[in-house]
Structure 1
Amino acid sequence: MLRQTLSRHFLLLATCLCLAAAAQAQKLPNVMILATGGTIAGTGASSTTTVGYTAATVGVQQLIGAVPELAEVANVKGEQVFQIASESMTNEHWLTLGKRVNALLAQNDVDGIVITHGTDTMEETAYFLDLVVKSRKPVVLVGAMRPSTALSADGPINLFNAVLVAGSRDAVGKGVLVALNDQIHAARDVTKSNTSTPDSFRTPELGLLGYIQGGKPFFYRASTRRHTADTEFDIANVNTLPQVDIVYGYASMNTVALDAFVAAGAKGIIHAGVGDGSLAARVKPALIAARKKGTIIVRASRVGQGILARNGEANDDELDFIAADTLNPQKARILLMLALTRTTNTAEIQRMFYTY
C-alpha cells in the first residue's frame, strides 16, 4: 500500500515537473537559427589552429548541440540554408536567404532569427537584409573569428548571445543586427576591421548600439536610417540583381578595371576613391564616358569613415554622379543594386543614399 502511494506521489511530481517545463517553454521566445557556414562552423587541424582552418564543415544541429544553454533562453530550431565560406557569398545566395527570412518571420511561431555567417562578408549580407527584410522582428547575424575546434573558440558564446538578442523584445524594430564579442552593431554601419582578432567587428565613429551582459542585451542607441519593414525594396519577385562593380582608387590608377566592367555590362560602378572620393585626372574622363553610356556612377571613399561630400571633390550635379554619403564601397554597391531594381533616375537614387 505504501509502495503504491509513493508511486502515485512520484508520478504526480513528475507530471507537475513536466507541466512546469512545458509552461516555461511556452514563455520562451521561438528563435530560428539559419546556418550558412563560415568560421563559426569551421574546424582546424588542432586546438591551436586559428588560421589555415577549413570553414563551413560543421552543420547547424551540431552548432546548436554544442551550446545546450540555448534551451534556457529560447525554443531553438535550426535550418541549414547554405554551407559555404562567406567569401563565396553571391547575389543569388542573398536573394535566397532574404526570401527565406521573410517567409519565416511571417509565421506567428517565429519571434526572431539568428543567421550564422562567415565574417568576411557578414557586413554585406547584414546590410542587404536590413534593406529587404519585411518585418520588425529581430534578425541577428553572428559568426566567429576562431574555428569551433580552437582552444578558445568564440563561436559558442557568440551564438548564445545572438539568440538572446533575437529573442529580446528590446531588439524589435532595431533593424538587422550583428552580434559578436559581447557587442551589438547596426547592419548599416558595422564593418570588419581586423583580419583575425575576436574584436574585429567595429562601428567606426558612429558607435555600436549596445552590449550583451549577464544574459541580457542592453541598447544605448538606435540607427536613424530607414530599414527593414520601412524600406521601399521588395525582393519577392526578384530573381537576379543588376551588375554593379567596384573600382578601387590608388596612386597611378588606370582605367583598365573600369573599362572592363563597363564592357562586361555593368549597370553601376562604385568608384572607391581616395580621400573624399577624389577622381584621378586620367580616370575621370572614363567615368564620364561610362555615365553617358548609361552606367550609374557612385562616388564612395576607400577611407572607411566620414561623409562623402556631394559636389565636393567632383561636381556631381554636372556629371550626374551620386555621392555615397557614409556608406563604404561594399555597402554602397548593395544599395545601388537594389535601387536599380526600382529606378535609373539619379536624383531618386541619391535620395535613397541619404535615406538608407
Structure 2
Amino acid sequence: MLSLTSALLALQGLGLVAAAPYVHNTVPELSTRDAPRYNASLPNITIFATGGTIAGSAADITQTTGYQAGALGVDILIKAVPELWNVSNVRGVQVANLDSGMITPSILVNLSSQIQAELDSPYCQGVVVTHGTDTLEESAFFLDLTVRSDKPVVVTGAMRPATALSADGPINLLSAVTVAAAPAARGRGALVVLNDRIASAWYVTKTNANAPDTFKSYEMGYLGVLIDIKPIFYFPPAWPVGKRQFNITAATVLPQVDVLYGYQALNPGLASAAVASGAKGLVMAGMGAGGWTEAGRAVLKQLAASNGTHIVDSRRTMDGYVEPDSSNTYYYAGGFLNPQKTRILLQLGIYANYNATGFKSLFEFDS
C-alpha cells in the first residue's frame, strides 16, 4: 500500500523545486533506457503530465488552498510513488505544466496527437494523463472523442497539492496507472480515476470545488471501483449511446465555441457579442431543461439565420435531459451532456464540417 508520508518525504528530499514546463513533441518507443527498473513481464504505461493540483506545491503541509498548481514536473511525481514500478514500466512526458483553467485547444490537440502516436506503438499498453481537476472532465471528454484505440486512456488528478499532509495525488496516480495496466480496462474509451472510483469520461463531472470525492456521475453511475488498488469493473466494456469519434490529425486550431449562462433577465446582447468576437457556435447553459428568455431566443434565431451560428441547448443544473424541440429548427438539444462537454462536441462537429443533418444526429440521436 502506498505511504503518503513516504511520498511527501520523497518530494521534500527533492527540494520541491518547480519544474520548468516544456513541450514534448515526439514520443519515442519505450525502451529499457527510459526505465532503469524495466521489467519485461509488466505492461508499459506512459504518463502524460499537464500540471494541475496533482503537481501543486505550497509553503506548508497543512495548506490545501492558495497553492501553486503545476509546480512539479512529471519525474518528481513518478519518483514520489515507487510503487508504480510494481505494476508497470512507467515513463513520463511533460506536455504542459499549468493550472487546468489555462488549458487551450492547441494543448488538447497536441496531447491527443501524442497519445494517439503512443498507443499506436506496440510497445505501449496504455496511457495516463495527470491534469488539474477544474477542467479535467473537458480534456477527458475531448480525448474520448479524438483518440482511436482500445488501449486504456486514464485521466487523473488531485484535490490537494503534492505538498499537503493529506495529498491524494500519489494514490490517485498509482490507481490510474494500475487501471491503465489492467486488461479489463480496454475498450471502454477514456476513463477518469480519482478517489478509488472509475468513471466514464463521457458523463462524469466535478461536483464539489474542494472535496476529494468530487468526480461523480449521478444518473449513469461509476464503471468500477478500486479495492486495495485493484480495479473491479461492474460491467463489461461498452460505449455510451451516440458516441462519435473525430479525426483531428490535421488540426492546428479548433473553432471558437462559447458558453452562455441562463438567468433571470439575462442580457440577450451577450450572444451577439460572443459571435462578434469570433464564436462559430454557442452553447446555452439554460434554466431548467434548457430554458431561455423570449428576447434571448429572438437574438439567437437571428444569429443562426444571418451568421450561420451553430447553437446547442444545454442546462445549468447538475443533471438532467434537454429534449429536442421540433418547432425550432435553428438550434439543437444537448441531451444529457452538460454545457462544458456540449461545447467540446460542438467544437469538433464544426471542425468536421457537419451540416444540419449531421449536427442533429450528433446531438439529437435516437437511443
Q: 1:76-95 to 2 correspondence within 5 Å?
A: 76-95=90-109
Give the Å deviation of 1:304.
2.4
Q: Note if contact 1:40-1:145 (Cα within 8 Å) is conserved in structure 2.
A: yes
Corresponding residue SS for 2:155: strand
2:332 aligns with: 322
Instruction: Find out whether 1:41 has 2:55 as its counterpart.
Output: yes
Mapped to 1, the partners of 2:38 and 2:271 lie a distance apart of 59
TM-score, L = length of structure 2: 0.86
Give the Å deviation of 1:119.
0.3
Task: Map Cα deviations across residues 105-129 of structure 1 (whole Å, 9 max, x no partner).
Answer: 1111100000000000000000000
Mapped to 2, the partners of 1:108 and 1:62 lie a distance apart of 27
* Residue 250 (structure 2) aligned to one of 209, 228, 237: 237
Corresponding residue SS for 2:294: coil
Q: 1:169-180 to 2 correspondence within 5 Å?
A: 169-180=183-194
Q: 1:132-281 to 2 correspondence within 5 Å?
A: 132-221=146-235, 222-225=237-240, 231-281=244-294
Corresponding residue SS for 2:328: helix
Instruction: Find out whether 1:59 has 2:73 as its counterpart.
Output: yes
Q: Note if contact 2:148-2:245 (Cα within 8 Å) is conserved in structure 1.
A: no
2:16 aligns with: none
Alpha-carbon distance change, 348 to 317 in structure 1, aligned in 2, over 3 angstroms = farther
Q: Note if contact 2:322-2:335 (Cα within 8 Å) is conserved in structure 1.
A: yes
Give the Å deviation of 1:265.
2.5
Opposite residue 274 of structure 2, the aligned amino acid is F
Q: Note if contact 2:324-2:364 (Cα within 8 Å) is conserved in structure 1.
A: no
Task: Map Cα deviations across residues 30-49 of structure 1 (whole Å, 9 max, x no partner).
Answer: 10011110000001110000
Percent of matched pairs sharing the same residue: 44
Opposite residue 262 of structure 1, the aligned amino acid is V
Mapped to 1, the partners of 2:292 and 2:72 lie a distance apart of 45
Opposite residue 301 of structure 1, the aligned amino acid is R
Q: Note if contact 1:70-1:163 (Cα within 8 Å) is conserved in structure 2.
A: yes
Opposite residue 143 of structure 2, the aligned amino acid is L
Task: Map Cα deviations across residues 110-167 of structure 1 (whole Å, 9 max, x no partner).
Answer: 0000000000000000000000001110000010000000011000000000000000
Mapped to 2, the partners of 1:23 and 1:214 lie a distance apart of 23
Bigger helix share: 1
Give the Å deviation of 1:319.
3.0
The size of the alignment, in residue pairs, is 329
Instruction: Report which of the two structures shows the higher radius of gyration computed on alpha carbons.
Output: 1
Task: Map Cα deviations across residues 84-108 of structure 1 (whole Å, 9 max, x no partner).
Answer: 1101011111101010000111111
Instruction: Find out whether 1:350 has 2:328 as its counterpart.
Output: no
Give the Å deviation of 1:306.
1.7
Task: Map Cα deviations across residues 207-228 of structure 1 (whole Å, 9 max, x no partner).
Answer: 111101123211113554269x
Q: Note if contact 1:126-1:176 (Cα within 8 Å) is conserved in structure 2.
A: yes
Corresponding residue SS for 2:40: helix
Q: Note if contact 1:322-1:346 (Cα within 8 Å) is conserved in structure 2.
A: no
Task: Map Cα deviations across residues 277-317 of structure 1 (whole Å, 9 max, x no partner).
Answer: 01212211001001102001101111121211111xxxx55
1:70 aligns with: 84
Cα RMSD for the two superposed structures: 1.8
1:17 aligns with: none
* Residue 283 (structure 1) aligned to one of 276, 296, 308: 296
Opposite residue 93 of structure 1, the aligned amino acid is I
Mapped to 2, the partners of 1:238 and 1:261 lie a distance apart of 23
Give the Å deviation of 1:350.
1.9
Corresponding residue SS for 1:120: coil
2:112 aligns with: 98
Task: Map Cα deviations across residues 187-226 of structure 1 (whole Å, 9 max, x no partner).
Answer: 0101000011100111121111110112321111355426
Mapped to 1, the partners of 2:315 and 2:116 lie a distance apart of 32
* Residue 127 (structure 1) aligned to one of 117, 134, 141: 141
TM-score, L = length of structure 1: 0.89
Mapped to 1, the partners of 2:51 and 2:109 lie a distance apart of 17
Mapped to 1, the partners of 2:331 and 2:241 lie a distance apart of 23
- Worse overlay, 341-350 or 95-104: 341-350
Gap regions ≥5 residues in structure 1:
1-21
Give the Å deviation of 1:352.
1.4
Alpha-carbon distance change, 38 to 184 in structure 1, aligned in 2, over 3 angstroms = same
* Residue 339 (structure 1) aligned to one of 337, 349, 353: 349
Q: Note if contact 2:144-2:245 (Cα within 8 Å) is conserved in structure 1.
A: no
